[in-house]
Chains A and B, each alone.
Chain A
């Protein structure tokens, strides 16, 4: 499949994850979020930006458990917990937030 952002076609796999992370734009993130039934709020962006930083540093999309722990470490336990993250991304912070952030599907994602 492919998205269109600012008149450019951007390739994605059959589940909607970007083929090339470098093609990601904020506009595209909003579009993917909409497809997922999510309206991006500052709280959503905080998680998406965190994922992009994590990917830039480690070159992988983290497993949910790892993401939760890392967010707790950086933003505190009130955000680094399953309840908070699943409220933002009901179908899974790993799957949905990674897709919106332009990351590949997390390794070992179940």
Chain B
């Protein structure tokens, strides 16, 4: 609690680079992001590599016996987490466009993404 009230705001970035459903990384990071919202930090979310698949529209994993947590990304706005970035090159490699994504994002080039990461105080990649 002391840390929460200390008033020091750091730039945090969670870098998502794993596809959802096949492994548990995406869901674990999402839960960490939701918890981090309670600490009033300057939270950024980056989706690069296969992490872009986390916010693909139309996910329906009921048949493979996995909870569909993709709607939760749309709840982030209510948690005041609105800085979402997606890498353009990664989308292109995967045949995806911004229209395929279920949340509003800012599309950055790989070079721009690297620069943004460099500005952060804390980066957590999974």
Contact = CB atoms under 8 A, between A and B. Distances in A.
Interface of A: 57-60, 62-63, 65-66, 69-70, 107-108, 110
A73 B13 CA distance: 28
Given A60-B72, A108-B38, A110-B38, 4 more contacts: A57-B71, A58-B75, A60-B34, A108-B35
B37 A62 contact: no
20 contacts: A57-B71, A57-B74, A58-B71, A58-B72, A59-B67, A59-B71, A59-B72, A60-B72, A62-B75, A62-B78, A63-B34, A63-B37, A65-B38, A66-B37, A66-B75, A69-B78, A107-B34, A108-B35, A108-B37, A108-B38
Nearest to A110: B38
Contact of A66 (B35, B68, B74, B78): B78
A67 B35 CA distance: 14
Contacts of A107: 31, 34-35
Interface of B: 31, 34-35, 37-38, 67-69, 71-72, 74-75, 78-79
A25 B93 CA distance: 47
B78 A70 contact: yes
A82 to B, nearest CB: 15
Nearest to A66: B78
A66 B78 CA distance: 6
Nearest to A69: B78
A60 B78 contact: no
Given A108-B35, A110-B38, A66 B71 contact: no
A66 B34 CA distance: 11
Contact of B69 (A57, A59, A110): A59
A13 to B, nearest CB: 16
Q: Which 3 A-B pairs have the closest CB atoms?
A: A108-B35, A58-B75, A107-B34
A60 B35 contact: no
